């Protein structure tokens, strides 16, 4: 009997250790379960996140936990993101900055709707250039503050206007192109990318390229009555690569200008932000972003 009881206790302990780490409810933009951030820093970060939502509609949340348990920080970030539902429904314009202090890991999780505005590369730059150097010196307040400022700056209208202006001045004079046809191609790529959005990136690229190739093949057979194999190959490549860039280009065209290249600068803090409760808007994670370890 004693052995049976000991075995039962051991089994229960295994179940307890395997249980996923509970997630806190979303009540404010900054949730620190480790008492790491100073009160002043929490107020500043909360104000900045509130201003971002007020000015752009995007939602930014910061979560600091002790550990993610048996889950990787990527798994835990997606679980938190989807439970908190950061960003607007069907727009998915939310961002989560997650720190697991004892695990010494950090993650920027980006909603699907912002993956063109805050790319995986830019998220990685923010982590490696701003967060990790500060965290290695145990300066968590500075690392998180710099990261939030960089994220907000990357999403701010000022940055997009500056990037568009720089791109416009760097463009040489060229002959006019058929913009209507280009927009149709981009629209097709965006729709196909959205149709296959639940697939992994490689599968999404493959099926988008395959669908475009079939469409071009049918057009050649029915209209031109001849098959140009090079066009089919180019169509597949365009579909695969276009899966990555088409949503960004279409978004830029609809706004009347293109986005500039990568990089990021100092943030735009301050201003005035709303207090009161904070809740998600029905958004989901797109799985984009970056992680780091210090």
Structure tokens at 170: 């760097």
**CATH number of the domain bearing residue 155:** 3.10.310.50
Domain presence at residue 140:
yes
Q: Confirm if 280 and 55 have CB atoms less than 8 A apart.
A: no
* 272 within domain boundaries: no
Ordered DSSP codes for 213-280: HHHHHHHIIIIISS--HHHHHHHHHHHHHHHHHHHHHHHHHHHTS----S--------S----S----
Q: Is residue 191 part of a domain?
A: no
pLDDT at residue 57 in the model: 93
40 and 13 Cβ atoms separated by less than 8 Å: no
The percent of the chain in helix, strand and coil, each rounded to the nearest 5, is 55, 10, 30
Question: Domain for residue 52, yes or no?
Answer: yes
| Segments in the chain below pLDDT 50 | 4-12, 14-16, 163-164, 167-168, 170, 172-180, 254-276
* DSSP 8-class letter at 97: E
Per-position DSSP letters for 134-174, written without gaps between them: HHTTT-HHHHHHHHHHHHHHHHSHHHHHHHHHHHHHHPPP-
- How far is Cα 204 from Cα 114, in angstroms, rounded to an integer? 18
In a domain, 46, yes or no: yes
DSSP classification of residue 107: E
How many residues belong to the chain? 294
Note whether residue 5 is domain-resident: no
Contact 232, 216 (CB under 8 A): yes
State if pTM tops 0.85: no
Stated as kind and residue range, the H or E segment containing 293 is strand 285-293
pLDDT recorded at residue 22: 84
**Range of the structural domain that residue 40 is part of:** 20-160+281-293
With residue 203 as reference, give the H or E element that holds it: helix 201-219
Q: Are 132 and 292 in contact (CB under 8 A)?
A: yes
- Helical (H) or strand (E) element with 73: helix 73-84
What's the pLDDT at 18?
A: 52
β-partners of residue 107 are 98, 291
Residue 127 lies in a domain: yes
pLDDT tens track for 247-280: 555 555 544 443 343 444 444 333 333 344 788 8
The H-or-E segment that residue 51 falls in is helix 39-56
**Helices 229-255/201-219 angle, 10° precision:** 110
The verdict on residue 126 lying in a domain is yes
Give the residue from 189, 183, 194, 184 showing the smallest Cα distance to 256.
183
What single-letter DSSP state applies at residue 23? P
Question: How many structural domains does the chain have?
Answer: 1
């Amino acid at each position: 009997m004693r052995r049976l009881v000991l075995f039962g206790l051991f089994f229960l302990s295994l179940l307890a250790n395997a249980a996923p780490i509970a997630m806190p409810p979303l009540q404010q933009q900054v949730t620190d379960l480790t008492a790491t951030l100073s009160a002043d820093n929490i107020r500043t970060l909360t104000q900045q996140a509130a201003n971002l939502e007020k000015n752009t509609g995007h939602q930014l949340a910061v979560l600091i936990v002790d550990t993610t348990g048996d889950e990787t920080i990527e798994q835990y970030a997606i679980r938190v993101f989807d439970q908190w539902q950061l960003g607007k429904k069907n727009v998915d314009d939310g961002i989560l900055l997650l720190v697991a202090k004892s695990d010494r890991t950090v993650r920027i999780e980006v909603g699907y709707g912002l993956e063109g505005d805050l790319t995986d590369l830019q998220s990685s730059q923010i982590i490696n250039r701003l967060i990790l150097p500060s965290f290695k010196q145990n300066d968590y307040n500075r690392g998180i503050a710099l990261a939030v400022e960089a994220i907000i700056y990357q999403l701010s209208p000022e940055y997009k206007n500056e990037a568009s202006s720089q791109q416009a001045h760097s463009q040489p004079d060229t002959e006019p192109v058929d913009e209507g046809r280009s927009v149709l191609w981009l629209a097709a790529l965006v729709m196909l990318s959205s149709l296959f959005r639940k697939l992994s990136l490689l599968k999404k690229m493959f099926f988008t390229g395959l669908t475009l190739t079939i469409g071009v093949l049918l057009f050649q057979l029915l209209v031109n009555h001849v098959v140009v194999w090079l066009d089919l190959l180019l169509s597949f490549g365009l579909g695969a690569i276009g899966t990555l860039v088409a949503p960004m280009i279409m978004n830029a065209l609809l706004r009347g200008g293109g986005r500039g290249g990568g990089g990021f600068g100092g943030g735009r803090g301050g201003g005035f932000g709303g207090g009161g409760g904070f809740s998600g808007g029905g958004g989901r994670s797109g799985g984009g972003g970056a992680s780091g370890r210090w």
